[in-house]
Copies of this chain bind each other. A is one copy, B any other.
Amino acid sequence: MPGRSGPDRADLIADAWQREQPGVPVGSIGVLTRIHQAAKLLADQRRRALTGIGMDAATLDLLSTLRRSGPPYRLSTRELTARCLVTAGAITQRVDRAEREGLVRRLATTPGSRTVPVELTDRGHRAVGDAVSELLAYEQTLLDDLDPAEQEELARLLALFLRGLHDRAGG
């Protein structure tokens, strides 16, 4: 059976709208619904994987962002807000939690500035290293169904889509 591929969830949704409310523009469903679904399934799997090692996605996002920035592993709240794609309030809360667990620390604001630097502690540095290498190794396996050319093409099209989306949102 070459090309065995029945309709999936997104196909069924588009068909159902077509049937129930003809004329409704269903063109976006093929892409957008599948992106939502994939993100949801990935987030669910990631949560379960991280729970097993005593970590959560929000904290890991914070620690990873600091870790990736390179020495001295220190960024202002403002920079964290921009890089993590969440509101400033969310960063305050993430840092509160991580600080309570000794993974990061807030530094005093230098005079003549209002920025609050947040720095990775040694404990945080160790935690993020372990979690990231484990997580990335695991997530690599989720792409096994696509051959390298398909992975590259998918990444390319997503980047193209994101570029437009980002322009529309941020300016």
Chain A interface residues toward B at CB < 8 A: 5, 8-11, 13, 16-17, 19-21, 24-32, 34-45, 67-70, 85, 129, 132-133, 136-137, 139-140, 142-146, 150-155, 157-166, 168-169
Residues from chain B with a CB closer than 8 A to the CB of A26 are: 136
| Measured CA separation A137–B41 after assembly (Å) | 26
Q: How many chain copies? A: 2
Q: DSSP class of A's interface residues: helix, strand, loop or mixed?
A: helix
Cβ contact of A163, chosen from B8, B20, B69, cutoff 8 A: B8
Can you sample 21 A-B contacts with CB below 8 Å?
A9-B162, A10-B155, A16-B68, A17-B136, A27-B151, A28-B139, A30-B151, A34-B158, A35-B42, A36-B43, A37-B162, A38-B158, A38-B161, A38-B162, A40-B85, A41-B85, A143-B161, A146-B164, A154-B154, A154-B158, A154-B161
Cβ contact of A27, chosen from B41, B43, B143, B158, cutoff 8 A: B143
Contact A38 B8, beta carbon cutoff 8 Å: no
Task: Known A68-B13, A132-B21; judge A34-B151 contact (CB<8 A).
Answer: no
Given contacts A27-B151, A30-B152, 10 further A-B contacts (CB under 8 A): A8-B162, A8-B163, A13-B68, A17-B132, A20-B70, A25-B137, A28-B143, A29-B136, A32-B143, A154-B154
